[in-house]
Structure 1
Amino acid sequence: MDVLDQLGSMREGKMSRRAFTKSLLAAGVAVTAVPMGGRRAMAAPEDQATYFTWGGYDIPELFGEYQEKHGELPNFSIFGGSEEALTKMRGGFVVDVSHPCNQALPRWVASDLFQPVETSKLEHWGDVMPALVDLPGNDAENGNVWMVPFDWGQTSITYRADLVDVEEESWDMLWNEEYKGKLGSLAAGADAWWVGAIKAGIPFEELDTPEAFEKIAAVMREQRPLIRTYTDDTTTLEQALASGELVAAMTWNSSAALLKSEGVDVKFADPKEGALTWVCGLMMHKDAPKPDRAYDVIDSLLSVETGKFMIGDYGYGHSNIKSFDSFSEEELSELGLSKTPADILQAGHFQIPQSQEWETKMNAMFEEIKAGF
């Protein structure tokens, strides 16, 4: 199948964008050279639920149960960061299910845009690991939750082991003048600003102070001339790393997992200062147009088959404990995972909730820095 045939299959929903990207990586073709055009998800029938999520989660591999039940994938809408998503919904954009992370949870609940998820309606709820449910602000009435945990993992550095001379893995790698113009970063402050805090030595409990903002802004401005690209499209970072255009980039687990599977000599760093760690999950809009199918979206994402894909292909932890049964302890260790999430999450710097005022100020400051101010 040639590139155009594969592109057509992706648009029709027969091939995921992730599989398409892997195929291009294997063939040495740059994604940026291929017009992606319209996506099949945008043409999904109006009677399907809408899932508002990060890029990379809009793929058939996560929705086997949903597609088997309804004959179609959900509709997808993509955001680059949770604050962008919340702002859009505050402006009147209504979806069925969205995908925030733990540090945003209290602010999302306070927006009054969401309804508790009735766990009794979820087939897979009994297999969800309790440690991932017990997050600040997640308790709702009658034993229900605001956010159903789905995935968990790390933000760290994916680097070309054959192109970077590393004596000790450290966040300093992304501030190294030697690699100016060959470094990349996720564009959202929800990752980058927090990494800046780690670099600046600011404890997360002290983030919301004028002194912390000044110190973090200083290290982010120091880094700005070194960064070739800021992007929320992980495919862009992966392609640039594969080609050698970038030698190191701030990424999530999945980028390293994908590149390794295609034979690219990369490592996912275990920084001496600690990685950024997080839990993300699923919330239902209070005015969800398709509430029954919203529960089917959530259940599909919680399924064992979805979990096996998330662990094996994306390198993320999954909330369904049974998903880990197909992997040995050695395999999980190689992926930087464990059947006990706390082993990974608490070993790094686990994100904690901040106020809406802090989030707004942080995003405004980071946008100015990225623009060169």
Structure 2
Amino acid sequence: MFAVDPSGHVTTPRGFRAGATFAGVKTYGEGKLDLAVLTSDYPCATAAVYTRSRLRAPSIEINRAKLAARAARGVVVNAGVANASTGERGLRDGYELARLAAARAGLPEEEMLVCSTGVIGHYLPMDRLASAMPAIELTPEGGPSFARAIMTTDTRPKTGAVRFGPYTIGGACKGSGMIHPNMATMLAFLTTDAPVEPGFLQVCFARAVDDSFNLVSVDGDTSPSDTAIIFANGAAGHELISAESPDAWDFALALRSLCVHLAREIARDGEGATKLIEFTVTGAATVEDARHLVRLLSTSYLLKSAIHGADPNWGRIAAVVGRSGVTFEEDAVTIDLCGTRVFENARPAPFDPAALSLALRGPEVSVSVHLGAGSEAATGWGCDLSAEYVSINADYHT
């Protein structure tokens, strides 16, 4: 894995500009920014991964159609209203928002993508968005403002950048609640100044998303507008990176490293969360088994509640393993909690409950399960479940 600089952002790679303003769409959260644009100074290879929900927001249909015809050079994002379940009007509004942003950036409207996040079932306030668009200044320093403007119930921006060779990959994402594969309720935007062959970019990006955003969960819910997009503008020069290139492996690994960092930040900032939990499953018969168990563990309300209370009740973990349906050898199953062995050889392992409870009070908690059934593994991320989560979602719409 490559080291990620958390202070990096979408305009850290060369040749990208971003900006944001407040249009009066978002009525919650901090920062008073809710409309953002990201563009490239140069033509891009573009790849995207979308929600698997069958109830898709207009932005998904718009972006699919545009990218099927040509690569994009920019994206406009509004927060506060998801423009989902809004019918033909929502589709028209999405196209119009992209047109307004393209005009502001001096790009063909066909090269401007669109994403919206927030409350479902509300129309975009197009008059406010149109009035606010001219205030956006697109600059190489605009990455941090872009990251703040896309937030909804997030408590902080989520950004990062990673360098490999002469290249940089930057990113920003949002997501705090309604988080679960595939994908979580999130938007993620990545940029790179590396020259990447479009087909290879799509393959690498899909794999990176599958190993990161598709293994993070806060509450088991997803939304109709989840989108992850990467722009590769080649501004750093050098030879085109394809599957056969010497830099192919480093590019794929650097991209995965950044996506994992951003996914962890989503889990860390889960609604009401006080702890980041990393779930690791080893010894699985298949990759599917390992990933399935990670997802079940990360959405067990009993386990998440126990961890919130620093209760070393490892029986919550064993119960999930037992009902998971995955293949395991009971005598070979082991369970570790914060690095402490609590279950082994089909019986409890001796440990100090007070010491383990103290470890569980830290900001990061690890849950590891070995199934003894094979050599496959998976790692995913989640958070604890607090009363604050209920409060946030009880008041979210009202």
Normalised TM-score (structure 2)? 0.24
Q: Which has the higher contact order (CA 8 A, sep 6+)?
A: 1
Instruction: Choose between structure 1 and 2: higher helix proportion.
Output: 1
| TM-score, normalisation: structure 1 | 0.25
Structure number, greater radius of gyration: 2
